[in-house]
Amino acid sequence: MDREKLLEFIDKNRVRFLRLQFTDINGTMKNVEIPSDEVEGLLDSGIMFDGSSVQGFARIHESDMYLKPDLRTVAMLPWTFDGHRSARIICDVYEDPSTPFDGDPRYRLKLIQEKARSMGFIPYAGPEVEFFILPRKEGKPVFEFLDSGSYFDLLPVDIAEHIRTEVSVYLEEMGLDVETTHHEVAPSQHEVDFRYAEPVIAADNVQTVKLVIKTLAIRNNLFATFMPKPFFGVNGSGMHVHMSLFTLDGRNAFYDPDAPDGISQTMRYFIGGLIAHAREITAITNPTVNSYKRLVPGYEAPVNIAWSKGNRTALIRVPKARGNATRLEYRAPDPSCNPYLALAVMFAAGLDGIEKRIEPPLPVEENIYKMSDAEKQKRGISRLPANLKEALTEAEKSELVKSVLGEHIFEKFMALKEREWWEYSTHISEW
């Protein structure tokens, strides 16, 4: 969409307000609202805001920052159709009208996407977002199950089923191609899958999905949580990411029709890079104390650093589809992550594998959960960090993580997460 088409869009849809959205270091979506008649100024020079008031952005003496709109992301907000009609635009953060802000998570992912192109690849990502819908009582969320359903269950039609349908309708009205929505394994747990896209747009889509789900839950007096492990004894919520690389002329670089398994050497190197860097990127893909309550054996969450051609007990799974559908599924991330930073470190790890020709170990098709420690050691299967502190220690040593996040985000992120670990370590709970 260009300037002229945006003005036509605003007029045709009777847009009263524009919500300018961006994401902070923690992955929280922020927004500032402007009347639609201010759009000319937005397009000419961006909108200034106070960066010192946003977590991890600027210090108070360097607080003036700018939002510049990405017009590919213009979409109506469907829940405003019966009131003051509003549209959203996802923005990039700038230090001044011409200089991108080095600490903008979206910008960091753009750099990795550009690196992939410089290597001759167009990267694609397809995240799968899991979440729980829970009841509210007297306006406050209650951590109780809303249903007793399990994977793919068709429940007696209830409010959660209606919300999933509404989520699909709203997302499609906002331009997202929803592929499936369904009940997940745990009671009250659901999943939304949408069509793969280049990483920046895929991360935008994750943020949009979260916004729509949370909004619809509130409108129905319910509560949506993307907490990785809100309940003991049932599966937690992950954000498995399907990843692929295409050549600039449109061929799937992960597919080799002459290989017995259809997997190209490029894909093997990419997997090798992910395995080599898995422990050090986990603080970014799984950034909360609660993330590590999910990463335990027995609940389908990956713990073991291995890859397979179908085995869901491994960190990396290669689905059976071949041809242009050839891809891998990285199963560690959870929906508490900042999707821009998570996709950035994941693709950077894979691209590093290609650059350095890192051979992966042999695939593991057995149930790794049932292997003894001695057997795993013999097969060279290590495990992901067991807690946030261990993950931060790995990230601190990682040159790849430092370079992908940049000095600004790396220092702010580590400080925020060390603080979170300290608060967790000193807190005395009922348990």
Residue with tokens 């009609």: 85
Rounded to whole angstroms, the Cα distance separating 386 from 297 reads 11
Per the annotation, does 190 bind a ligand?
no
Q: Which two tokens stand for residue 292?
A: 């590590």
Q: Output DSSP code: residue 197.
A: B
Per the annotation, does 107 bind a ligand?
no
Rounded to whole angstroms, the Cα distance separating 312 from 302 reads 8
Specify the DSSP element, H or E, that contains 126. strand 121-137
Helix axis angle, 339-356 to 199-219, nearest 10°: 150
Per the annotation, does 312 bind a ligand?
yes
Evaluated on CA atoms 126, 241, 369, 237, the torsion sign reads: negative
Per the annotation, does 236 bind a ligand?
yes
Question: How big, in percent rounded to 5, are the helix, strand and coil portions of the chain?
Answer: 40, 25, 35
Per the annotation, does 138 bind a ligand?
no
Per the annotation, does 270 bind a ligand?
no
Residue with tokens 């491994």: 314
SS3 for 125?
Answer: strand
Per the annotation, does 194 bind a ligand?
yes
Q: How many CA atoms lie within 13 A of 142 on its CB side?
A: 10
Per the annotation, does 128 bind a ligand?
yes
Per the annotation, does 49 bind a ligand?
no
- How would you classify the pairing of strands 314-317 and 99-100? unpaired
Beta bridge partners of 66: 48, 94
Q: Which two tokens stand for residue 108?
A: 């960091």
Beta bridge partners of 242: 126, 329
Per the annotation, does 132 bind a ligand?
no
CA dihedral defined by 258, 262, 265, 266, rounded to 10 degrees?
120
Residue with tokens 């996040």: 405
Residues 315/371, Cβ–Cβ less than 8 Å:
no
Per the annotation, does 144 bind a ligand?
no
Per the annotation, does 121 bind a ligand?
no
Per the annotation, does 329 bind a ligand?
yes
Of the candidates 216, 212, 158, 165, which has an alpha carbon nearest to the alpha carbon of residue 187?
158
SS3 for 381?
Answer: coil
* Catalytically active residues, by annotation: 50, 128, 130, 184, 191, 240, 312, 329, 331
Per the annotation, does 244 bind a ligand?
yes
The one-letter amino acid code at 254 reads: F
Count CB atoms within 10 A of the CB of residue 373. Answer: 9
Rounded to whole angstroms, the Cα distance separating 314 from 346 reads 16
Evaluated on CA atoms 207, 209, 213, 216, the torsion sign reads: positive
Residues 80/74, Cβ–Cβ less than 8 Å:
no
Per the annotation, does 196 bind a ligand?
yes
Per the annotation, does 38 bind a ligand?
no
Per the annotation, does 418 bind a ligand?
no
Binding residues for L-glutamate: 235-236, 294, 300, 312, 331
Please report, in range form, the residues annotated as the binding site for Mg(2+): 128, 130, 184, 191, 240, 329
Q: Annotated binding residues for ATP, as ranges?
A: 179, 194-196, 242-244, 312
What residues are designated binding site? 128, 130, 179, 184, 191, 194-196, 235-236, 240, 242-244, 294, 300, 312, 329, 331
